Structure 1
């Protein structure tokens, strides 16, 4: 009896086949995320849509042009993205293509924590007021649009420089999106809770306000006292020491949990030692 003649095994094989294909597609999307290939993918989707639309409306000239672009597009992609393709094949040969996204995400989160910790420590000692909000699952695009777009690689030096008094970007909040400084001088909604201490100023009210409407993590450095506080889910953690702040930040960004899950799914052997 062949494999196809067993209904259960046939269905199971189909399910496994589909899951493997989706897994490979997902990993490839993680590989090209944040690269020029993302824009290429968007362009391909637009071309396919135009081809379908021109076929439906019988726009023969437009259909012919788009069809030629698709026919020769694969060769153009190979030529234009030759470095990226070569790098992907090298990673595949070293067995890293399926662990790359997890490793990169872990490294980015570690750099994010290091940059924020170093910047807040520097600003707290010098009593430089700061307001930094980190986007998580709930999108913050509406608030990003209220500020000055940056889309910059995050670093402690950049964060410190933004909040130096009397500079164009120091007034408002910095929003971090996908481990990048998305925008500065952003306006955040103020909390209207009657239980907020009268001692707290606008920065703390804004931090609590954004934590009430999103799942973001927001860090406040007080320019009056130099204390560091953190808000999440409508909760305010005040006067955090450097170790406490770092531990809370790591806990919320789930570095340890990600490392555990990544070690299970990594597609490579153990490191020596």
Structure 2
């Protein structure tokens, strides 16, 4: 049997849970619209509601009626105005991401870099455009950056693709990236002297393997002959990678919240040697 005190406790617990859930939903909605024009529109709506309250408090009938009409028909206007943000929130809800952990700005930038690399590599592999992208890690690569053309540009798929288009000034050589920035293009990398490298591999793959033997960088090579995608790190060459494996490797190495959790080389691909 529940006593009166038990019912009061359950009612209080229910109210606390209710308030906590509403607060969490409001917080997640704020994170969805953060950085969009919806923030400024919300400020405008806050002003309208404040004027409505003050006009009601001071008995300003005409102003109160105008603000009342604005609030009454404002719901339809909000749906129209916030349509992009509402669609974005529903898409995230459908993917189960809206109530997940919020990514930090650093992680969001890392994700954009991964997406840019994936988009450019897929484009070049499909069209058999040779490419060599080396991503600096702990070991500095200044000596190799100095052999190329300084860029110091944000990473975008369009810039990466345009850099490796054949017969352009920067296509011959490697792109070296630092974090989310392209440091230089047309860089010269050391060739591997490993005698056991397959004879079918050309200079691009030998350079990718060579730089991985002297630094801890991650290097992506796209074959001009086959369109195959290879990745090198710590002297290992993994060939013929599919999109899923490449994405997993990049996320493991480049995204702040997962790059230190386990080894990169647990995924597949044909390993050199």
- TM-score bucket (shorter structure): 0.5 to 0.7
After TM superposition, which residue ranges in structure 1, 4 or more long, deviate above 4 angstroms? none
2:233 maps to 232
2:140 is equivalent to residue 157 of structure 1 = no
**Change over 3 Å in CA distance of 1:252–1:167 after alignment to 2:** same
Distance 1:210 1:259, change over 3 A: closer
- The structure where helix makes up a greater share of residues is 1
Q: Is the CA contact (8 Å cut-off) linking 1:106 and 1:258 kept in structure 2?
A: no
Correspondence for 2:253: 252
CA distance in 1, matches of 2:110, 2:190: 26
Take 1:144 and 1:208, find their aligned partners in 2: how far apart are those partners? 17
Conservation of the 8 A alpha-carbon contact between 2:252 and 2:260: no
Residue 148 of structure 1: aligned partner = 149
Residue by residue over 1:102-146, the C-alpha shift from the partner in whole angstroms, topping out at 9 and shown as x without a partner, is 823212211111000000000000000000000010000110000
Change (3 A) 1:242 1:142: same
Equivalent residue, structure 2, for 1:205: 206
- Cα deviation, 1:32-66, whole Å, max 9, x if unaligned, reads xxxxxxxxxxxxxxxxxxxxxxxxxxxxxxxxxxx
- SS of 1:246's partner is helix
Q: Is the 8 A contact 2:107 2:255 kept in 1?
A: no
Unaligned runs of 5+ in 1: 1-101, 261-273
Which of structures 1 and 2 has the bigger CA Rg? 2
Equivalent residue of 1:257, what SS?
Answer: coil
Give the root-mean-square deviation of aligned CA atoms: 1.9
2:218 aligns with 217
* C-alpha spacing 1:194/1:207, structure 2 compared with 1 (3 Å): same
User: Which residue number corresponds to residue 116 of structure 1?
Assistant: 117
TM-score by length of 1: 0.56
Aligned mates of 1:210, 1:259 — CA distance in 2: 22
Q: CA deviation at 1:255?
A: 4.4
Q: What's 1:243 paired with?
A: 244
